[in-house]
Amino acid sequence: MASSTAAILCITCNKKVSVATCDGCQKRYCRPHFNEHHQELVQWMENITQDRNKLKEEIDGDCNDHPLMSQIDQWEEKAIETIRTVAKQARAEIKQCVRKNKDTLEKKVEDLTEELKRRREDDDYAEKELERWEKQLKDLRDNFEKPSSMKLEEDRQNSPLYMIKVKQQGMSISEISDKILSIMIESECIIT
């Protein structure tokens, strides 16, 4: 008997008697909580409307604002940063090599200067000597301008960069920058 007359309680507070059932979720509520539940649905609707407006705005907006564009921007920034880091390292290594090379060349130029001075004072030279000094000077200049121990090399295997391409329905429609190469230095710094 008691069970058949027992009041069904509100799903939210579980204290007050339920007075209404929501058709949508089939849950029963007391009056204040039924109103609260209705407010929740109103808020939900409001959120959906806002999301819809935002989406419409984005669709109507500039192609440049598309989320995929910012993905490309990010890739670009990262790639540039990588190139700058590699270039910075390469410059530092070249500087070090050039400095070492300069020291060696300066010593050789000094030796040549001494010899030239002495021979000139003694008036002790002929074609053979002049030719030798001329060649010596040319070699030193070549070594200064294009040191044989240093060169830049394209390192295609160890490239820290990856390329991106736009794909549509499994087909590549464009390739972005297919030829950025990382430059790495042969870091041997042998001064001859």
Smaller CB separation from Zn ion, 23 or 127: 23
Name the DSSP letter for residue 64.
Answer: G
**Contact with Zn ion (CB under 5 A) among 19, 22, 83, 191:** 22
30 contacts Zn ion (rule: CB under 5 A): yes
Q: Which of 160, 178, 192 is nearest to 85 (CA)?
A: 160
Collect all residues with Cβ–Cβ distance below 8 Å to 155 and sequence separation of at least 6: 181, 182, 183, 184
Q: How far is CA 15 from CA 12, 20, 34, 40, 103, in A?
A: 8, 14, 14, 20, 93
Q: Rounded distance, CA 4 to CA 164, Å?
A: 70
Name the DSSP letter for residue 12.
Answer: T
Smaller CB separation from Zn ion, 5 or 26: 26
| Interface stretch with Zn ion, choices 12-20, 65-73, 95-103, 184-192 (CB under 5 A) | 12-20
11 contacts Zn ion (rule: CB under 5 A): no
Q: Rounded distance, CA 52 to CA 45, Å?
A: 10
**Contact with Zn ion (CB under 5 A) among 28, 33, 101, 147:** 33
H-helix or E-strand spanning residue 28: strand 28-29
**Contact with Zn ion (CB under 5 A) among 8, 17, 25, 176:** 25
**Contact with Zn ion (CB under 5 A) among 2, 3, 24, 145:** 24
100 contacts Zn ion (rule: CB under 5 A): no
Return the ∠ at Cα 52 (arms to 48 and 54), rounded to 5°. Answer: 115
| Interface stretch with Zn ion, choices 5-13, 150-158, 172-180, 181-189 (CB under 5 A) | 5-13
150 contacts Zn ion (rule: CB under 5 A): no
Smaller CB separation from Zn ion, 13 or 163: 13
Q: Rounded distance, CA 29 to CA 53, Å?
A: 32
Please report how close the Cβ of residue 5 comes to Zn ion at its closest, in angstroms.
20
Smaller CB separation from Zn ion, 37 or 86: 37
Smaller CB separation from Zn ion, 22 or 183: 22
Binding site for Zn ion (CB under 5 A): 10, 12-13, 16, 22, 24-25, 30, 33
